[in-house]
Structure 1
Amino acid sequence: MNYRKVGKWGLKISELSLGSWITFGNQLDIAGAKEIVREAFKSGINFFDTAEAYANGMAEAMLGDILKEFKRSDIVVSTKIFWGGNGPNDRGLSRKHLLEGIWASLKRLQLDYVDIVYCHRPDPEVPIEETVMAMDYIVRNGLALYWGTSEWSAEELEEAHKVCEKLNCIHPVVEQPQYNMLVRERVEKEYLPIYEKYGMGLTTWSPLASGVLTGKYNNGIPENSRLAKFPNLRKHLEEKGMLGEKVFEKLRKLQKIADQLDAKLSQLALAWCLLNPNVSSVILGVTSIEQLHENLKAIEIKEKLSQDVIDEIKEILEDE
């Protein structure tokens, strides 16, 4: 396992990490989750990601129970605040919800602090000054060691940094965007000025595009697959055109490259994300030890990607 700095900052996290969205509390019970976390740690993964919204807080509670086994300084834990409940003050990025949200998250996680807390989405209803000052308070008071954002635009990030500068507040150090072979614009183009200017890192999610990049949906939706169990997710992917014949044609071409490298399509897709120097960690969502081991092999596949192969992949991805 390789460990990468989060942007220019001192925190080092495993290049592959373990997430808990959809899996913890939905597909995995505590016994299954514990087995996977233990094996992930044994394999060198030190970064574990969750959010207050995942399984309505159950994912945090499960992770908290499991992480008691580990020495605190050996692990990096992140959570995200935005969707905390149904009340008028239980969601968004107000000072009230950010503080009450982090206190509740820490209680569920049974931790004194998280390493990173993210603003899970931008909130146009709250002045950026209020959000920035609340995040500054959270970090200065030791509830989190760093703060970041998730799915903010480059414009919103720029504004946040300017306000931090103006108010002498601690700056965000990391963004958590979706990034995979089929969703590349934001990470590869929109954020380019941000990396250089502010030294932000990335912890990216959905590297396999909810399973599309495994190739298992090329000929329909298998009965026990994630898309069969979560119809809203399937609808979202269909609306984005990610379950169409154009995409499947690209996947068939990518599969040929994977075959030449003695790799699975999923491993090639993960390796592609790891090639990006601005990516600090790629967050995995797995439901079995076998799947975890399969995904971890992407680190070896990354080393096999010559410039010729990279150029061939780019040509396939950019072919309209």
Structure 2
Amino acid sequence: MNAPAASPEPLDAPLGTGPNAVLRRVGPSDLSVFPIALSGTVFGWTADGPTTTAILDRFVELGGTFIDTADAYAGGRSEIMIGNWMRARGNRDSLTIATKVGKGPDHPGLSAPAIRAAVEASLRRLRVEQIDLLFLHVDDPDTPFDETLLAVDELIRAGHVRYFGGSDHTANRLFEARIASAQLGVAHMVAVQKHYNLMHREEYEKDLARIAAQLDLGVLPRFALAAGFLTGKYRTRGDLERHRRGHEVVPYLTRRGARVITALDRVADQAQSSVATIALAWLLSRPRVVAPVVSVSSADQLDQIMSAPRTPLSRQQLTELDRASA
């Protein structure tokens, strides 16, 4: 139930942007998606019904196919709003739907009963028969991996879930999960979500990038725009007071942050593009990255976001951004 593949760009391509970067395959799965995932974080929270509908409509209008949500977002309201929108538009078969379980207040953790109950509830809220990509929203140390993996495999065999991945798992835990999956003879992870952007590189690039390549995992960077800092709208402390999420970017108002924004300004000017577009285009140039997960508060913000996969960056521009953010 995902968009049909049309020569997806290889995940190890040296440059992940350009006019032909239309669809990318999620790891070893047969899911091929537009290289921007729309986050449902704000749906039912800071985005009301009409705003959510407008965002979803514009996302699809601009070529989007991949929507990412969670049972914990707005107490499940995000899933409900996405499900109602899909039912009204009749477009389920053209979309790839990802959701997460493990953090929801009704079914916390990754025990077998919690996973089964959480997935059943998500299916009802999304009004679908199958979840394309299920993420384990937490790493639950109180539940043996074997129990979690067997429960997910059961859901896959029953047709309720197509593929699954990790979220915020360390490189070592991802490796442990793969070994356990092989020993049990069950489905293994095909993707991972991780905090990754120009301002937050070390956590992913130090260990996880190597393991993602070794395990053939598709990577979906979360916080791709660093809480809005990489849009360029926060340049001084005075800018913080004018925006609701300003406090989240305080750690980025440093000399390094200023270097990154200066480099983004320069490359954006050369490409006749926006700072946000260039920040996402840089992410899309990284090995294994399939689709940054991006949240917006209004439909008009999507024009810059969705142009990133079709914004080519030269090696010189990528090097400049690498150095500024090192």
TM-score for the superposition, normalised by structure 2: 0.88
For the residue of structure 2 that corresponds to 1:176, the secondary structure is: strand
Q: Which residue of 2 aligns with 1:135?
A: 152
Q: Which residue of 1 aligns with 2:50?
A: 31
2:270 to 233, 237, 260: 260
| Cα distance between partner residues in 2 of 1:192 and 1:83 | 25
Amino acid of the structure 1 residue aligned with 2:235: N
Bigger shift: 179-188 or 96-105?
Answer: 179-188
For the residue of structure 2 that corresponds to 1:281, the secondary structure is: coil
Contact 1:114 1:143 in 2 (8 A): yes
Deviation at 1:197, TM superposition (A): 2.8
| Cα distance between partner residues in 2 of 1:180 and 1:204 | 7
| Cα distance between partner residues in 2 of 1:14 and 1:254 | 23
1:195 to 194, 212, 233: 212
Contact 2:72 2:104 in 1 (8 A): yes
| Cα distance between partner residues in 1 of 2:263 and 2:218 | 31
Q: Which residue of 2 aligns with 1:284?
A: 294
Q: Which residue of 2 aligns with 1:164?
A: 181
Report the RMSD for the aligned CA atoms in angstroms: 1.7
Q: Which runs of at least 4 in structure 1 moved beyond 6 Å after TM superposition?
A: none
Q: Which residue of 2 aligns with 1:314?
A: 322
Contact 2:99 2:134 in 1 (8 A): yes
Contact 1:175 1:201 in 2 (8 A): yes
Contact 2:166 2:192 in 1 (8 A): yes
Residues 20-50 of structure 1, C-alpha deviations (whole Å, 9 max, x = no match): 11x2112211111112211211211111110
Query: Is structure 2 residue 173 aligned with structure 1 residue 173?
Result: no
Q: Which residue of 2 aligns with 1:247?
A: 257
Q: Report the number of matched residues.
A: 304
Amino acid of the structure 2 residue aligned with 1:225: H
| Cα distance between partner residues in 2 of 1:72 and 1:286 | 21
Query: Is structure 2 residue 165 aligned with structure 1 residue 145?
Result: no
Amino acid of the structure 2 residue aligned with 1:83: K
| Cα distance between partner residues in 1 of 2:203 and 2:30 | 24
Deviation at 1:223, TM superposition (A): 4.2
Contact 1:7 1:195 in 2 (8 A): no
What is the correspondence of 1:300-311 to structure 2 with a 5 Å cutoff? 300-301=310-311, 303=312, 305-311=313-319
Q: Which residue of 2 aligns with 1:76?
A: 96
Structure 2 unaligned residues grouped into runs of 5+? 1-20
| Cα distance between partner residues in 2 of 1:81 and 1:24 | 17
Amino acid of the structure 2 residue aligned with 1:174: A
Amino acid of the structure 2 residue aligned with 1:284: V
| Cα distance between partner residues in 1 of 2:45 and 2:92 | 26
Query: Is structure 2 residue 314 aligned with structure 1 residue 295?
Result: no
1:48 to 67, 72, 94: 67
| Cα distance between partner residues in 2 of 1:167 and 1:65 | 38
Amino acid of the structure 2 residue aligned with 1:165: A
Contact 1:9 1:199 in 2 (8 A): no
| Cα distance between partner residues in 1 of 2:183 and 2:207 | 24
Deviation at 1:222, TM superposition (A): 4.2
Deviation at 1:4, TM superposition (A): 0.4
Contact 2:71 2:100 in 1 (8 A): yes
The percent of aligned pairs where both chains have the same amino acid is 31
Deviation at 1:314, TM superposition (A): 1.2
Query: Residue 215 and residue 196 in structure 1: after superposition, are their counterparts in 2 closer, same or farther (change >3 A)?
Result: closer
Contact 2:256 2:325 in 1 (8 A): no
Query: Is structure 2 residue 43 aligned with structure 1 residue 15?
Result: no
| Cα distance between partner residues in 2 of 1:191 and 1:169 | 23
Deviation at 1:150, TM superposition (A): 0.5
